[in-house]
């Protein structure tokens, strides 16, 4: 089974047509996410694995195969910014 992820910081989330804006409640720092990254972040709830997230993205965008490289890239970027962590 692939890695599970969860939010690491307390952020408010505002979704929009382009994706989402995460605002860290403590620092006020804002992070702008495109549609794919927004879906990935919202599924980092300690219940979905990397494989689950990639499958969901494939379904949302009517893809033939899960976009593992794109999802892993988004997870790595969110993790490097300290917004998500492994569970």
- Alpha-carbon distance of 1 to 52, in angstroms, equals 10
Quote the mean pLDDT of the chain.
94
pLDDT 10s digits, 41-78: 999 999 999 999 999 999 999 999 999 999 999 999 99
Top CATH class of 4-86 equals: alpha beta
What are the b/e assignments for 50-67, b being 16+ CB within 10 Å?
bebbbbbbbeeeeeeebb
pLDDT in tens, 2-37: 889 999 878 999 999 999 999 999 999 999 999 999
Domain ranges of the chain: 4-86
Q: 66-74: which pairs have CB atoms within 8 A and are 24 or more residues apart?
A: 67/36, 70/36, 71/36, 71/40, 74/36, 74/37, 74/40, 74/41
């Amino acid at each position: 089974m692939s890695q599970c992820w969860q939010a690491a910081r307390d952020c408010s989330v505002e979704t929009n047509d382009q994706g989402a804006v995460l605002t860290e409640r403590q620092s006020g720092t804002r992070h702008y996410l495109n549609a794919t990254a927004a879906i990935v972040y919202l599924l980092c709830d300690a219940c979905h694995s990397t494989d689950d997230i990639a499958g969901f993205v494939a379904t949302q965008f009517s893809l033939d195969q899960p976009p593992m490289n794109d999802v892993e890239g988004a997870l790595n970027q969110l993790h490097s910014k300290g917004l998500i962590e492994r569970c």
